[in-house]
Structure 1
Amino acid sequence: MIVLNTQGIVLKAVRYEENDVILTLFTRKLGKVSALAKGAKKNKSALLSSSQLFAYCNYTLRKQGSMYRVSQSDIIKSFYDISYDIDAFSYATYITKLVENSTLENQTNNRLFILLAQTLYLYTQVDVDKKFVTHVFELKFLDYIGLRPIINRCSVCGTRDLKSPAFNVYEGGALCSSCSENVQDNISIDVTTLKLMEYILSNDILRCSKAKVSKYIIYELEKILKQYLAVHVDNINQKSLYMLREMKKSSKEDLNE
């Protein structure tokens, strides 16, 4: 029987039978795996807290057939506070779904694991722009799964002269003024937004979260990443973000009545 100790983050927890839970874990050593937490729903179970969504733990996993079984776990960070903040919960649900749907079983990605853990931590902080942090996650996520957009040169001709740039998701990144005239479906982009994207790709998310960025630049970044992800990443689930937008829209309408 194979026994392995590894750090992991709970991406999904599905009740199985009366007291058991099937976890989808994103781990350091194994990548994404499914694991059975036997009896985890019992109130006095030692696995109860480590079987909650977003939990970051040390797990001892035993291989049984095609699935692992959690035999022991120790909490590193529960991230339980996320469930009390609708913004944080919506964004955290979105990024964990993004990781779950875009990674293969048993394929490790240590940089993405660290990014996910750091982002969940930032969602628990009160002085952080969670929307901006989510866009930072998206851009670095694209980099770590091999879909990094080209932002420091023209994606068509290669020139670094980007004084009046455009962005094209189908071409994979920035376009110079000359090439943009010959390509359709361009997105207008400010040079400052390109510089911000370069900064994000060159620094960890903890440093990026402290940057002071205007709402307009965040809006441009959001527009670009939304289209880029839609074209290059399959099975994107934005249901939690849609619900968050609808709730905020309803709240604004109620205030205006």
Structure 2
Amino acid sequence: MIILNTQGIVLKAVRYEENDVILTLFTRKLGKIAALAKGAKKNKSSLLSSSQLFSYSNYTLKKQGSMYRVSQSDIIKSFYDISYDIEAFSYATYITKLVEGSTLENQTNNRLFILLAQTLHLYTQPDVDKKYITRAFELKFLDYIGFKPVVNRCCGCGTKNLGKPTFNVYEGGTLCKICSENSENNLDIDITTLKLMEYILSNDILQCSKAKVSKYITYELGKILKQYLNIYVDNVNLKSLNLLQSIQNNKGVDKGE
């Protein structure tokens, strides 16, 4: 029997039989795996807190056939507070589903693991622009899974003299004025948005979180990344974000906005 210790984050938790839970874990040493946490739903179970959605823990895993079993766990951070904030919960659900749907079983990606843990941490912090943080996550996520957009030069001719640039998701990034004339489906992009994308790709997300970004730039970045994700990432699940938008729109109606 193979026994392994690794850090992991719960991407999904599904009840199995009466008190057991099947966890989808994103781990440092194994990548994405399925693991059975027996008895985790019992109130006095030592696995209870580390079997909750978003939990970040040290897990002792035993390999049984094609599946792992959690024999022991020590919580590092529960991120339980996220469940009390509809905005944080919606964004956290979205990014964990993004990771779950875009990673292969048993394929490690430590940069993505750290990014996910740091982003979940930021969602629990006061005075953090969660929408901007989510956009920064998306951009760095694309980089870490191999679809980094070109933002510091023209992806057509390679020049750094961009003039009045545009962005083309099908070409993979920024186009200079000349190259954009020969391409369709170009998107207008503010030079400030382009500089922000370069900044995000060059720094960790904790550093990025300190930047003060206008709502307009965040909106433009989100519009571009939504199209980019739809082209390069299969089955992007936007349900949690659509629910959040619906709730926010209703609040605006209630306030007469």
TM-score with structure 1 setting the length: 0.99
What SS is found at the alignment partner of 1:256?
coil
Distance 2:19 2:92 in 1: 25
Give the ranges of 4+ consecutive aligned residues of structure 1 lying more than 6 Å apart after TM superposition.
none
| Unpaired runs of at least 5, structure 2 | none
What's 2:245 paired with? Answer: 245
User: Can you list the C-alpha shifts for 1:11-47, whole angstroms capped at 9, x where unaligned?
Assistant: 0000000000000000000000000000000000000
Q: Which has the higher mean CA deviation after the structures are superposed, 151-160 or 91-100?
A: 151-160
What SS is found at the alignment partner of 2:179?
helix
Q: Aligned letter for 1:92?
A: A
What SS is found at the alignment partner of 2:222?
helix
What's 2:108 paired with? Answer: 108
What's 2:66 paired with? Answer: 66
Distance 1:216 1:22 in 2: 41
- How far is 1:157 from its partner? 1.0
Query: 1:179-218, aligned counterparts within 5 Å?
Result: 179-218=179-218
Query: 1:2-151, aligned counterparts within 5 Å?
Result: 2-151=2-151
Q: Aligned letter for 2:9?
A: I
| Residue pair 1:25, 1:35 contacting (<8 A) in 2 also | yes
| Residue pair 1:162, 1:191 contacting (<8 A) in 2 also | no
- How far is 1:89 from its partner? 0.1
Distance 1:184 1:195 in 2: 23
What SS is found at the alignment partner of 2:153?
coil
What SS is found at the alignment partner of 1:182?
coil
- How far is 1:254 from its partner? 1.6
- How far is 1:120 from its partner? 0.2
Q: Aligned letter for 1:180?
A: S
What SS is found at the alignment partner of 2:133?
helix
What SS is found at the alignment partner of 2:164?
coil
- How far is 1:66 from its partner? 0.3
User: Can you list the C-alpha shifts for 1:107-138, whole angstroms capped at 9, x where unaligned?
Assistant: 00000000000000000001100000000000
| Residue pair 1:163, 1:191 contacting (<8 A) in 2 also | no
Distance 2:97 2:57 in 1: 19
What SS is found at the alignment partner of 1:150?
coil
| Unpaired runs of at least 5, structure 1 | none
- How far is 1:163 from its partner? 2.2
Q: Aligned letter for 1:109?
A: N
Q: Which has the higher mean CA deviation after the structures are superposed, 48-57 or 214-223?
A: 214-223
TM-score with structure 2 setting the length: 0.99
